[in-house]
A and B are shown apart, each in its own frame.
Chain A
């Protein structure tokens, strides 16, 4: 069975600080990888996804993630966070066999103005 770990449960940053959220997964086969964001009171929104090709993926709102296959990681980065980035971030994975997403436990990011 596949699993996803997000090691940082809570992160507090000041505006303009750089962000890196860790995500590791366990699955031996080919996977598709996703980062979703959930702003307070809102639904899950897709930030970016990786299916194949360039392991450095750029998403919306200045976010990017790098797939490192040897480390089973898909860390999310942003060079300079804004107060509006305050939200909960979820890493998710699915394999090619099905349409089921396995989510990590989420990371709550608070950006102080």
Chain B
């Protein structure tokens, strides 16, 4: 079965712009989580969506938002980009929420803010 697909793979944006990243989970997976990976902060949880509702949110400013569609695909949006938003953004999907389900990660979108 196809894995977790993230688009685009690479993105270069200018400070102040906004960006939308997309994640298509494994078919049948209903939970989608987003993570930011940077050399300095490591892997940090952004948010999780299940059944089109945000279930958990990490400690990120309101410029970071997301949504999930009825087919479980998810998008995350970052507005008013800052240089510090440069990172690898990872999406992970799981069948359901909670114990017993593994998380499968996508290859990520590498965002560079200049």
Counting residue pairs across A and B whose Cβ atoms lie within 8 Å, the total is: 59
Distance to closest chain B CB from A77 (angstroms): 20
Tell me, in angstroms, the Cα distance from A96 to B99 when the chains sit together: 6
Given that A32-B99, A46-B102, A49-B102 are known contacts, is A102 also in contact with B107, CB under 8 Å in the complex?
Answer: no
Question: Is B105 touching A44 in the complex (CB atoms < 8 A)?
Answer: yes
- Say yes or no: is B94 at the interface (Cβ < 8 Å to chain A): yes
Distance to closest chain A CB from B29 (angstroms): 11
Q: Which residue of A lies closest to B57 (CB)?
A: A100
Distance to closest chain B CB from A63 (angstroms): 15
- Say yes or no: is B55 at the interface (Cβ < 8 Å to chain A): yes
- Say yes or no: is B108 at the interface (Cβ < 8 Å to chain A): yes
Question: Is B42 touching A106 in the complex (CB atoms < 8 A)?
Answer: yes
Question: Is A98 touching B108 in the complex (CB atoms < 8 A)?
Answer: no
List CB contacts (< 8 Å) of A83-97 with chain B.
90, 92, 96-97
Which 8 A/B pairs are nearest by Cβ-Cβ distance?
A103-B43, A44-B105, A43-B107, A99-B97, A100-B56, A105-B42, A100-B45, A99-B48
Q: Which residues of B contact A (CB under 8 A)?
A: 31, 33, 35, 42-45, 48, 50, 55-56, 58, 90, 92, 94, 97-100, 102-108
Given A32-B99, A96-B99, A103-B43, 15 additional A-B pairs, CB 8 A: A42-B107, A44-B105, A45-B105, A46-B102, A49-B102, A97-B98, A98-B48, A99-B48, A99-B56, A99-B94, A100-B33, A100-B58, A101-B33, A101-B45, A105-B42
A-B contact pairs, 24 of them (CB 8 A): A34-B102, A36-B105, A43-B106, A44-B92, A46-B102, A46-B104, A49-B102, A51-B99, A97-B98, A98-B55, A98-B56, A98-B98, A99-B48, A99-B55, A99-B56, A100-B45, A100-B56, A100-B58, A101-B35, A101-B43, A101-B103, A103-B42, A105-B42, A106-B43
